Amino acid sequence: MSDAVEPIRWKGKSLELLDQRLLPGKVSYVKCTTAAQVAKAIKDMVVRGAPAIGCAAAFGVVLGKGSASSFEILSKSRPTAVNLFWALNRMRKAKDLEAEAKAIFDEDLAGNRAMGKLGATLIPEGARVMTHCNTGALATAGYGTALGVIRASKSKIKGVIANETRPYLQGARLTAWELVQEGIPCTLITDNMAGHLMSRGEVDVIVVGADRIAANGDTANKIGTYSLAVLAKRHGIPFYVVAPRSTFDLKIPSGKEIPIEERPGDEVTGHRGVRWAPRGIKVRNPAFDVTPAELITGIVCEKAVVLAPTKEKLAKLF
Ligand code: MRU
């Protein structure tokens, strides 16, 4: 599929974003005609996923005609996914804004297909593949990163175990939706079931995406990823990160320097107007965590697979 789901539609004078807040119940698009509207759509999670945020921001700059204020407002939309800042930097240097935004989009799609092919070589025949959050067509220009590897392995895997991904439910709402549409066998679990399945030998490999990879390979990804990596180590299960080079931030030496977004508490105390926690309770809601490089079996990017990532090996990709 990938081509059936169109999260980002550039229309020349406007940007249409599939409203991911309403999925899987409703397919509807938010139309943006200004950079401020695109920034708001990113902040409000209409569009999410590191590469998709970068692509949307690039078109946001086109709508803002490259004004300083368009860069300013878009750079403040979300802090963790470095693809946003990477795309804005490219746009700052571009002579033809629209051509550059389209190139960012097209390169992302091509990169995802390349990662799919490369990553599929790591997936064993008959594997039960666990994934976290949503890294599919919805999170990118199309096809997906970790979910792209799963797509490319469709004919040989036994099935996918999709973690629900509390609190925002990207796994339950978005990954499950993409996989059901594509006819890839998928079982949904809540995040706290992952360790149990691993301990019973029901998980063969784990593939996740990334929001920012530091120079040493430490990787920020959706909250819950770090726990999965620790569990994977405990159970001897290969743990792969799949991300394009636009997700690497070689300027920061380690994961300690990655800014972690804290989101509103109401994502934890309830969902879509239903509240289950008492009023007055204190809440934490960090949206991402950092997995140290030592827990990562390999990083797949569009150029190569880097096993046991180190600063030296990752530097060679650039
Ligand atoms: O908060 P989100 O939904 O934007 O977080 C998304 C993730 O953490 C993804 O795993 C990551 O961006 C990679 S998407 C290809």
Measure 51 CA to ligand 1 centroid, in angstroms: 8
pLDDT in tens, 194-231: 999 999 999 999 999 999 999 999 999 999 999 999 99
Q: Which residues of 35-66 are buried (b: 16+ CB within 10 A; e: fewer)?
A: bbbbbbbbeebbbbbbbbbbbbbbbbbbbbee
Residue 5 has a pLDDT of 80
**E strand or H helix at 240, and its extent?**
strand 239-242
pLDDT in tens, 163-199: 999 999 999 999 999 999 999 999 999 999 999 999 9
pLDDT in tens, 66-107: 999 999 999 999 999 999 999 999 999 999 999 999 999 999
Residue 309 has a pLDDT of 98
d(CA 242, CA 224): 16
Token pair belonging to 270: 């309830």
Measure 154 CA to ligand 1 centroid, in angstroms: 22
Measure 199 CA to ligand 1 centroid, in angstroms: 26
Catalytic residue among 19, 204, 211, 218: 211
Q: Which residues of 97-133 are buried (b: 16+ CB within 10 A; e: fewer)?
A: beebbbebbebbbebbbbbbebbbebbeeebbbbbbb
Residue 1 scores a pLDDT above 80: no
pLDDT in tens, 3-39: 568 999 999 999 999 999 999 999 999 999 999 999 9
Our answer to whether residue 211 is catalytic in this structure is yes
Using a 6 Å CB cutoff, which residues line ligand 1? 48-51, 81, 133, 135, 139-140, 145, 170, 209-211, 221-222, 287
pLDDT in tens, 46-73: 999 999 999 999 999 999 999 999 999 9
Phi (first) and psi of residue 5, to 5 degrees: -95, 120
Q: Which of 29-33, 100-104, 257-261, 269-273 has the lowest mean pLDDT?
A: 269-273
d(CA 34, CA 47): 15
Query: What secondary structure does DSSP assign to 145-187, as a single string?
Result: SHHHHHHHTTTT--EEEEE--TTTTHIIIIIHHHHHHHT--EE
pLDDT in tens, 112-165: 999 999 999 999 999 999 999 999 999 999 999 999 999 999 999 999 999 999
Tell me the pTM: 0.97
Residue 265 scores a pLDDT above 90: yes
| Ligand 1 atom closest to the CA of 81, numbered from 1 | 12
pLDDT in tens, 37-48: 999 999 999 999
Strand partners, 159: 128
Phi (first) and psi of residue 291, to 5 degrees: -100, 120
